[in-house]
Structure 1
Amino acid sequence: MKIKLLLPFLLICKISFSQMTISEGFTIQELIQDQFIGNPNFPAFNFTSTSAQDYGTISSIGYFYANGTDIAFDEGLVLSTGNVLNVPGENTTNLMDGTTGWIGDDDLETFTATTDTYNATSIEFDFIATVPMISLDFILASEEYGFYECNFGDTFAFLLTDSSTGVTTNIALVPGTTTPISILNVRGGDNSNCNAVNEDYFHRYNYTVADANIPSIPAEDSPINFNGETTVFMLVEDLVIGHTYHLKIVTADHLDAAFDSALFIRNSSFGAFPTIINEPENIIINDEDDDGTETFDLTMFEDQMLGDTIDTTVYSFDFTYHLSLADAKSGVNAIANPEAYTNTADLQEIHVRMQNSYTGTGITTSFRITIDAELLSTPDFQSDDFIIYPNPVVDKLTIDTSKVAFETIQVFNMNGQLIQTKTETTNGFVTIDFSNLESGVYFLNINTSKGKVYKRVVK
């Protein structure tokens, strides 16, 4: 049995205090189609939900506005296992708004191997796959963190069903594993009865923790009324174009109806994941007047990168061009006039960011520009020094490093989290096991004595 604990807090006088606000003024269709999806052309239909309102007077689904508070998203959907109006911080009360009469969810229990769930909240809809990949962003927050994170695994699932095959998959997994994300499987370690688990994906406790090595903030500074929260998870999943899919997002309390949890889902984050169908080519313009500069149209391969599988009447993607990979990943310091860019060196690396105009989700690639074609064929460090196959990969990825000695090869997921590192070769070849990794896009950071090169791999 749980004992109700009230967190100590300091009363601090503040001239002004920004606080998250919750709106209940949307229908379920508006929440999903206009706020979660955002793209008015996205082919979605059959919008339904299950919430506290089906069992009583409170509401467990709403739309939040951060209003400048310290949470990962400015606004978005919130699905709670309690009263959604009690979600905003400070974190100075315990949220226990559910009852055992508000039942759990059978699908959630089946696909997360969890039993005895209560207070289930869900949204569901169908959509037609007209792109090869979709993605979305969310965080998990819970009152279970800290005091009860060892035993009470409040959980959730993003259940994607291919209606053509009848196969359902929970895509809400700890990156690089087959482990469902939950309180038990992602926790920070502020409990002497159990160790931290997947702590790289745990953001912080929203109360002061004695151990300075464990991330936390004072309870009165918390933007939400939950004891802890994860980092942002980006889910990426492959689709079969032409198939109809059903997506069910569901969360519930575990073992009892006390100590609530919630999903915060970024607005407009559900949509087509950017996919570069054909890589851009290097651009060569010979410097005929020997003044060291030429004017380059960096945008000339945008149609090539999009390919002919994207319906541009439904989906929109923006391309920006950057002088560093870091800027491209962050989407900052874009080249102001990429249609007429003047080079600043004889050979330059240009980094491209392809971004979904509605979701803001982006990926990167690169190409080179030069005023001297011979510079592209010099034996200095080149990305072509590595042969990577097969790509897309199913289980084993092979990298031929025989042309240049490497130091490390790191594999990162789309969230920028390190999945694995390789430091040894076998007869000049490196093999990386992708068999236990989820479908999606990964980045290889190949470090050599001559420099670094980045490669994109799709599983």
Structure 2
Amino acid sequence: MVNSQNISVNSSFTAQELIENHLIEGCVEVSNITSSANGGINNLNSFGYFERDLSNFPFENGIMLSTGDAQSGGNTINNNPLNDGEMSWGPDLDLETALGISNTLNATNIEFDFISSSNLIQFNYILASEEYFGNFPCDYSDGFAFLIKKKDSEDPYTNIALIPGTTIPVNTNTIHDEIVGFCDAANNTYFDGYSMGDTNYNGRTTVLTASATISPNIQYHIKLVIADQTDENYDSAVFIQGNSFNPTVDLGPDVNSCEDSHIIDADLGNPLAIYAWYQNGSLLPLETNSTLEVIESGTYSVEISIPLENINCVIEEDIVVTLNNIENISPLDNYELCDTNGDNSEIFDLNSIDDSAIASLGIGNYSVAYFNSFIDAQNNENSISAPMTNISNPQIIHVSLTNNDNGCVVFTTLTLIVNDIPNIINPSPIEVCDDGIIDGSTIFDLTNNDSEITQGNSELSVTYHFTEEEANNGTNAIPQPYVNTYPSEILFVRVINQETGCFTTTTINLIVNTPPVLELETPAIINACDQSDSFYADFDLQEGISNLIDDLEDVLVSFHETELDAETGENAIFDTANYENIDPNTQIIYVRVESTDTGCATVFPLTLYVNFLKSHGIYNDVYECDDISGDGIENFNLTAIGNNVVKHLDDATVSFFENEFDMNANTNQLTGLYEVSSSPQTIFVKVETPECIYKTTIKLIISPPVILSPVDPIDYCDTNDDGFTAIDFTSINDYISANVDVSLKYFISEANALNNAYPLSNGWTNTSNPQTLYVRATIDGPATCFDVMPITINIIPAPTVITHQLDDIVICDDDQDG
């Protein structure tokens, strides 16, 4: 089951109650309501009133006639076959005569007389059946009909329960899906499905409408009848929508006409009818006839009032009328092509715009034709066979659109335009110099070439692509800036006119040139090796770097005082053979080595030294601390001093002398430990390399010693009586030394104190009592002289306060003043 909720069925109503209260709703007079055949013979109520309840049944309510117990069709869910009724429950002969069948039984009918105020009567219904099972619809069907004729007429009944647009009666044999292996589908458009879940029947039809054209104010007789055929098994039922048996007026389907006007006919054939017409909801007060001529498109409604006994019957209907009397519409969008050969002509496939031409009119079934003149279009003569080549630029084509449903013809125009492809210049190759990393790859901003290619035309847009196919399709444009992969590349250029969409393509060459390559293993320098005390010297720049560039060919070398000038090649130093430095002692200038073939250049710094030995030797005065004797005599290690002098000099030697004469004569060289007894002592220093020599002096200076005097153990108060406390070393500094120039640090061991390693922080807590520490006293200066001695600190426990309960003190108040 699709839905677990069934309709509710009440079979307690009489046939008259069902027709008067649940089928007829005004504008129809009914009488003589009877049921000559039903399940009463088997003590079954075979007709009843139903409501949708919580199910999804299409009708909210209505009446039903069945070939079994009406209540079995709904209410509780019943998955067993519905086989109510016995053989004793007989047939309906009118049904058999009307349908040309026999052997009916379990017939249920309700019939009545009626008079309608309209010439059209109709109601909605659904046929449901247990016969929708297996291959039964291929071979069996129960009988069912709505039979109508004029009252007391000898004419046969007419069945109005027919498949729409045919004379075929509605039953399970004439409406069903394909039953594979047994029979083809029959009118399956009107089959709703199996086991729909809102009744207990196996299947049902869609909502169908029964209608009959009658004469108003004439009495007719109608019989609603259904019956089993051949046997009493597999019951069927017809559900009729509540209050749907009504007279109506048929204005016909909505109108879409190319005429200037249209007649709407609402004639009921009833002389008592009063007609009121509305256009788009507004009353047309002068229109009171049964017909209305409309000359404007819109929604038209008719309201027909008919006096009927004590009531005023009102019938309403509407129709949408569209008058297509427009002969011309706005021109179609231009049909534009790009000029591929520069002759202002192209082949236009007019058929390709049929759909867009039809779309300009909205939904409709149109044929499109093209003509060279409006007269040809009006006469439908000499249509253009597509494709065609334009004979002028632009060229106007006349278009006719014929509505195949109503013959309306609409005329418009189409302009054919051949647009020029962009006029461009093939770009010059882009040659750039490799960047700082010589790998043949660098950054290109290709957009810098756009203006050259387009000749400054702002209507043109340029993109760059890796393949010709991508350039033609306008796909995968290369993002900018672009980093090339190979030193020489060819890219494809697409230039498009954004307004016309026309484009052309070309190519552009990218070339990365390698600048001169220099082998600079160490920074380049020129050492003037000036022996004077001057800060300036003359330099032969070209000769100074000859060893770096001698192997290079086709290069131009220039020297510059700034790196920017070297990069741009501007402001080159004019006299390179006699260049005097402008910065004292040391100056950096920049060398530009430019290829005369490509113009690419390598720039590197060149350091100029007036005397390299002077600039890079360490010629500081040397200090030593006097020993504890304070006699002003100390030994200086000239080997260590010499090593420090040439620390930053390669291949340099150093010599020491007591006087300048010895130094110049290179005699009496001082070596090893040298005793100084008169401080400061000036000695002469000579530093030599294979290329240069430098002479100067340094001073050997003896600093006075730092001496600590032994101190007695120091008592330090505990904050409690456990013998351990945080020691404030600043509080004992004055006890150690009163010299304000001395800085004191405290250490846990003598080795730490000697090495000035791991000093104790202020507030350190002792680990033993008494505690031995080592104090280091230092006078900061060039020599950093110090002394170390041990000290002992005794931690004195704090006094213990003993508290006990004291007796209360009582004093007598002699004068009672409190």
Per the TM superposition, whether the score is higher than 0.5 is: yes
Amino acid at match of 1:85: Q
Q: Name the counterpart of 2:297.
A: 349
Aligned length: 313
Residue in structure 2 matched with residue 244 of structure 1 by the alignment: 219
User: How far 1:134 sits from its partner (Å)?
Assistant: 0.6
Which of residues 55, 58, 66 is equivalent to 1:69? Answer: 55
Q: What residue is the counterpart of 1:86 in the other structure?
A: 72
Quick check: 158-167 or 143-152, which moved more? Answer: 158-167
1:307-386 mapped onto 2 (5 Å cutoff): 309=270, 311=272, 321=280, 338=282, 349-352=297-300, 364-367=318-321, 378-379=326-327
CA distance in 1, matches of 2:161, 2:100: 13
1:48/1:125 contact within 8 Å kept: yes
Task: Select 1:117's aligned residue among 104, 111, 123.
Answer: 104
What 5-or-longer segments of structure 2 have no aligned partner? 258-262, 285-294, 306-311, 330-363, 367-400, 408-818
Report the Cα distance in structure 2 between the residues aligned to 1:197 and 1:359, rounded to whole angstroms: 40
Secondary structure in structure 2 of the residue aligned to 1:235: strand
The one of 136, 154, 168 equivalent to 2:142 is: 154
**Larger mean Cα displacement after TM superposition, 262-271 or 171-180:** 171-180
Which residue of structure 1 lines up, in the alignment, with residue 160 of structure 2?
A: 171
Amino acid of the structure 2 residue aligned with 1:350: G
Look up the equivalent residue of 2:270 and give its one-letter code.
T
Residues 194 and 204 of structure 2 are in contact (CA less than 8 Å); yes or no, is this contact kept in structure 1?
yes
Letter in 1 for 2:62: G
Question: What is the aligned partner in structure 1 of residue 88 from structure 2?
Answer: 101
C-alpha displacement at 1:199, in angstroms?
0.8
Secondary structure of 1:45's aligned partner = strand
**Does the alignment pair 1:26 with 2:13?**
yes
Which whole-Å CA distance do the structure 2 matches of 1:318 and 1:67 have between them? Answer: 39
Q: Is the 8 A contact 2:37 2:90 kept in 1?
A: no
> Does 2:170 match 1:181?
yes
Q: Does 1:49 align with 2:35?
A: yes
| Distance of aligned partners of 1:353 and 1:62 in 2 relative to their CA distance in 1, 3 Å threshold | farther
- Which amino acid in structure 2 is aligned with residue 160 of structure 1? I
CA distance in 1, matches of 2:64, 2:138: 25
How far off its partner does 1:90 sit?
3.8
Shift of residue 258 of structure 1? Answer: 0.4
Shift of 1:191: 5.4
The secondary structure found in structure 2 opposite 1:150 is helix
Q: For 2:268 and 2:212, how far apart are their aligned partners in 1?
A: 20
TM-score computed with the length of structure 2 as normaliser? 0.34
Asked if 2 retains the 8 angstrom alpha-carbon contact of 1:49 and 1:122, the reply is yes
User: Residues 355 and 112 from structure 1, CA distance in 2 versus in 1: closer, same or farther, beyond 3 angstroms?
Assistant: farther
Residues 104, 119 of structure 1: 8 Å contact kept: yes
Q: Deviation digits for residues 313-337 of structure 1, max 9, x if unmatched? A: 9xx999795xxxxxxxxxxxxxxx6
Task: Please tell me the residue identity of whatever aligns with 2:246.
Answer: G
- 8 A contact 1:163–1:246 mirrored in 2: yes
2 CA distance for matches of 1:188 and 1:43? 40
Name the amino acid aligned to 1:120.
Answer: A
Q: Distance in 2 between matches of 1:22 and 1:368?
A: 46
Task: Give ranges in structure 1 of 5+ residues lacking alignment.
Answer: 1-8, 207-216, 283-300, 322-336, 341-346, 370-375, 382-405, 409-447, 455-459
Could you say if the C-alpha distance between residues 367 and 68 of structure 1 is closer, same or farther in structure 2, counting changes exceeding 3 Å?
A: same
Query: Percent identity, aligned pairs only?
Result: 29
* 1:412 matched residue in structure 2: none
What amino acid maps onto 2:206 in structure 1?
T
Q: Deviations over 1:345-403 (max 9, x none)?
A: xx97322456899999975423469xxxxxx854259xxxxxxxxxxxxxxxxxxxxxx
Q: Give CA-to-partner distance per residue, 1:171-227, whole Å, 9 cap, x none.
A: 112122221111111112245322211111111111xxxxxxxxxx5xxxx000001
Residues 247 and 307 from structure 1, CA distance in 2 versus in 1: closer, same or farther, beyond 3 angstroms? closer
8 Å Cα contact 1:269-1:359 kept in structure 2:
no
Partner of 1:399: none
Query: Structure 1's 366 and 63: CA in aligned 2 closer, same or farther, altered over 3 A?
Result: same
- Give the corresponding residue for 1:132: 119
CA RMSD of aligned residues (A): 4.0
Alpha-carbon offset, residue 19 of structure 1: 3.2
CA spacing shift, 1:125–1:54, aligned 2, 3 Å = same
In structure 2, the CA distance between the partners of 1:377 and 1:184, relative to structure 1 (3 Å rule), is closer
Deviation at residue 140 of structure 1 after TM alignment: 0.2
2-side partners of 1:319 and 1:229: how far apart? 39
Once the two structures are TM-superposed, the CA of residue 243 in structure 1 deviates from its matched residue by: 2.9
The match for 1:401 is none
Q: Please give the alpha-carbon distance, in whole angstroms, between the structure 2 residues aligned to 1:150 and 1:30.
A: 37
Alpha-carbon shift at residue 162 of structure 1 (Å): 1.7
Residue equivalent to 1:143: 130
Distance of aligned partners of 1:377 and 1:103 in 2 relative to their CA distance in 1, 3 Å threshold: closer
Structure-2 residue corresponding to 1:200 = 189
CA–CA distance in structure 2, aligned partners of residues 180 and 170 of structure 1? 8
Deviation at 1:239, TM superposition (A): 0.7
Relative to structure 1, the CA distance from residue 305 to residue 105 in structure 2 (aligned partners, 3 Å threshold; closer, same or farther) is closer
